[in-house]
Structure 1
């Protein structure tokens, strides 16, 4: 079982240069490729599903096998929604309409579905049709959030601050608003038209906030959307079918500790549920990192490393698997945490040529580390990104307002590791990328550079060793002062 010590006083850890990782002793590209391919072969791992549970069991066994002692599973209850059958038909022509995917956790129908006139406005008894256009950000928007000067302009030959950043997942808030609007009007169903070619959406799991709604809803692509908008103009009827099951189940967090020279902790975290082999392969990288760290002599690891592979990302607007861990351990492990690092979507390449988000000359997907305003965290993440030589070395401020009021500065960031800051107020960083295919339920192995993933894993292992050596007082002792220039925000 896990060792806890709620009454221990944090030791004073002395700072010093981190021991560089011996790359020859780190897992090979070949081994990581086998792991990555096996993950991609699993496909969709919806939270609490049998596929997800199987992956959790496999990860727990492998975490023990790489040398992490006392690996434990911690149950997190949930009300799971699972779609079994869905479809859409135009009644006037008895035409089946191509559907990308159901809207997860939306309502349900019986096998006969619900029928109503198509309408672009919320009306009782109608089948709503709304267009979802990914909102446009630019590279400059992210530069404005950086703690320091904008490095990409000198490192990326095709860099431009007005380079557009458009992703389906950026439209999640709009999707929620439309679901609420049409539900309140008494609509019988809702069709959300994603303004992208259907082939680019890959059966995507495009909304996953875990809110059980009373309106059955489907996603379609641009081509089907054109057909439906014309039918709505003429007031034609459609039948929407979405047969789904709801069940109370337990899903699980995986927790293990690599013992170091003190009982203080540095956390390595990612989430286990996901849509494909990129979302999320952070767990695979962390297994490689744990293998290396567990092989170090205990005295060379100034703090113990808590490996936390959490559930709940694909059934919530927030990371409730991580939230559950922080609540469960607020009296024992959380007071011992010096810093935390969440890793998501490593080694990501841009979409292949011909896809809408492909930028000629750019190999790797845009990425960044969000970081709390602790100089040791910010500087450590910047150094890690430079050493990895994969994404731009952006280290960004939290900028999303958080309504709970518990965040030290009232903000969080759009990543699974946000609760470390907005719930527990811990020094933390979250590396993340968000390519256009992130939520596609399809093979993506050809869009992952495993050699780049390995470089990132090595660089972040060195960052863990650096954080393990930063004095407690610099991380947890005093209120942090943000380094760099004032945040200009998005």
Structure 2
């Protein structure tokens, strides 16, 4: 039996506690204050236990526990992140000491236990290295007093009436899916607006094989079933449709529906914990936080909808996807998913109410008929950018959005960029302002490059951002998406209705300086519900991601309303607030002008993704 601290099993117990505290600190990167407080308490309790123990050789261990507690205390007071890393290292050293002192009667058990614990130390060391290399621990935002004061001249900024006129012009083009007539007309109008400001237009032209739905229907036993929407780029039929036996199955058993029509339920209630895909940095007003089910339809469609290429390989002739956990009005006309390539298997979405009929028929192996008439043809689209030259001929600020979308919210960022250009066109900025109007967001399989559509634009226009040779070096970027959106949610009665709040304004920030700039830019607004985020576990939603991936310090405003991809006749204008859009544009201008006054050194470098469990 060991003569060291705690006897035969206490060494094992203490080593396990130390390893748990270490892994907790490494994984809960979004909650450093909480983990430090827990660690501080545990260190003091263990220290007290050891001091009361009659065992020998405890002086060094007591000292190490006190050092660990002191490191936690310093972090809680100062938020100086290195204290966290040093504290984990101390814990790992202490855990090794206790592991080596473990004594178990069975030699096999002893070596197996020690081996597993040693392996745990190695794995935790790996987690620690990932945290340190990515600087994953959330840090406290410094005071924004050092930032220059910026005021927006109200008489110069476009008023709400002018913004609404531009919105109505955009809406007159209808849905603006990538390569559609509506999008091409909208791009042409945007270019003309830029030319009226005497700004040169630089284009990148593309073509791709397009899919466009013309008509769709669903019958079960000759009874017409109301469909919510067609699955984009799924497949097509002729006017006779496909009549086959219905088979109720799931994504893991598609072979059951070989030669038939698969009926699959998509559960929208099984949400991904937001802490795995988002990491909150700051908020305003105080207490604003990530809304747990924002973007649920998009995530469910992207992650849980059937892989149609897999279905085709399994011999499935058609697919009916049934929504669960979302109201019928919420899922109506949702253009989802918009991230998949053409599969060659026609697929339709139905709401939960109609889906009950379809599932019942499928369980009874009754017949159904899918009709999805669509065209497949090569179409043209383009991105373009304009510049407002700066005094500094070496540095640029990228301001970007995308021009394709399905309604008034998705995507109206181009209207915001126009307003910013009109405000800034007669000024002489310090840095060259590059306004990028990007295509391809709704055809990501073709245009996403490394992440989103802007990555293709970056690849094709290195001269305005990469800093090589005589190229401009982008020292910061601003992305504007989905402005003026009000929040609508399914209420307790299952009705999709307004909550009376504005939609949470998620804003990705590329480093702490960008965080400070944005928090100051939104501070005096009447309408704001801001949450700043850091790219997390490889996720950053929206067209700011390619800029973030290039380590360009970015501010990326993107709201995620539940109706974002609803392709309705009203274009969701009943959910749009022009006063909110006006205030958001003012904040975007404040951020742009603030960035323009700061040096590249003051702006700093872009961060990488944080990892593990965010806040």
- Please indicate, yes or no, whether the TM-score normalized by the shorter chain is above 0.5: yes
Shift of 1:109: 1.6
**Counterpart in the other structure of 2:521:** 384
CA contact (8 A) 1:147 1:487 kept: no
Deviation string, structure 1 residues 384-417 (Cα, Å, up to 9, x no partner): 233444342311010142xxxxxxxxxx401122
In the TM superposition, what are the counterparts of 1:230-245 in structure 2 within 5 Å? 230-245=360-375
**Counterpart in the other structure of 1:418:** 545
Change (3 A) 1:129 1:380: same
**Counterpart in the other structure of 2:559:** 433
Which whole-Å CA distance do the structure 2 matches of 1:204 and 1:461 have between them?
32
Deviation string, structure 1 residues 64-92 (Cα, Å, up to 9, x no partner): 22x251013221232211122221112x3
Q: Does 1:369 align with 2:369?
A: no
Q: Does 1:56 align with 2:203?
A: no
Deviation string, structure 1 residues 346-389 (Cα, Å, up to 9, x no partner): 111112886756575x42012210122x2221211222233444
Shift of 1:215: 1.1
**Counterpart in the other structure of 2:350:** 220
Q: Does 1:275 align with 2:275?
A: no
Deviation string, structure 1 residues 256-282 (Cα, Å, up to 9, x no partner): 001222232111111111010000111
Indicate the SS of the match to 1:225.
Answer: helix
Which whole-Å CA distance do the structure 2 matches of 1:139 and 1:190 have between them?
28
Indicate the SS of the match to 1:24.
Answer: coil
**Counterpart in the other structure of 1:254:** 384
CA contact (8 A) 1:266 1:337 kept: yes
Q: Does 1:302 align with 2:430?
A: yes
Which whole-Å CA distance do the structure 1 matches of 2:155 and 2:297 have between them?
39
Which whole-Å CA distance do the structure 2 matches of 1:109 and 1:115 have between them?
11
Which whole-Å CA distance do the structure 2 matches of 1:105 and 1:252 have between them?
20
Deviation string, structure 1 residues 285-343 (Cα, Å, up to 9, x no partner): 111111001132x1xx1111101011001111646541221111225543221111111
In the TM superposition, what are the counterparts of 1:95-174 in structure 2 within 5 Å? 95-121=223-249, 122=254, 123-135=257-269, 141=275, 145-148=279-282, 151=284, 154=286, 164-165=293-294, 167-174=296-303
**Counterpart in the other structure of 2:614:** 489
Q: Does 1:468 align with 2:596?
A: yes
Which whole-Å CA distance do the structure 2 matches of 1:463 and 1:144 have between them?
23
Which whole-Å CA distance do the structure 2 matches of 1:309 and 1:473 have between them?
28
CA contact (8 A) 2:455 2:546 kept: yes
Which whole-Å CA distance do the structure 1 matches of 2:613 and 2:485 have between them?
28
**Counterpart in the other structure of 1:188:** 317
Change (3 A) 1:400 1:126: farther
Which whole-Å CA distance do the structure 1 matches of 2:522 and 2:455 have between them?
27
- RMSD of Structure 2 on Structure 1 (CA): 2.8
**Counterpart in the other structure of 2:466:** 334
CA contact (8 A) 1:118 1:129 kept: yes
Indicate the SS of the match to 2:164.
Answer: helix
More contact order relative to length (CA 8 Å, sep ≥ 6): 1
Among candidates 450, 456, 462, match of residue 324 of structure 1: 456
Indicate the SS of the match to 1:54.
Answer: helix
Change (3 A) 1:461 1:137: farther
Indicate the SS of the match to 1:228.
Answer: helix
Shift of 1:448: 1.1
**Counterpart in the other structure of 1:4:** none
Which whole-Å CA distance do the structure 1 matches of 2:558 and 2:236 have between them?
33
Q: Which has the higher helix share?
A: 2
Shift of 1:132: 1.8
Structure 2 gap segments, 5+ residues each:
1-145, 468-472
Q: Does 1:290 align with 2:421?
A: yes
Indicate the SS of the match to 2:151.
Answer: coil
Which whole-Å CA distance do the structure 2 matches of 1:105 and 1:143 have between them?
26
Change (3 A) 1:237 1:136: closer
Q: Which moved more, 1:37-46 or 1:305-314?
A: 37-46
Which whole-Å CA distance do the structure 2 matches of 1:475 and 1:257 have between them?
21
**Counterpart in the other structure of 2:133:** none
Change (3 A) 1:194 1:78: same
Which whole-Å CA distance do the structure 2 matches of 1:200 and 1:135 have between them?
14
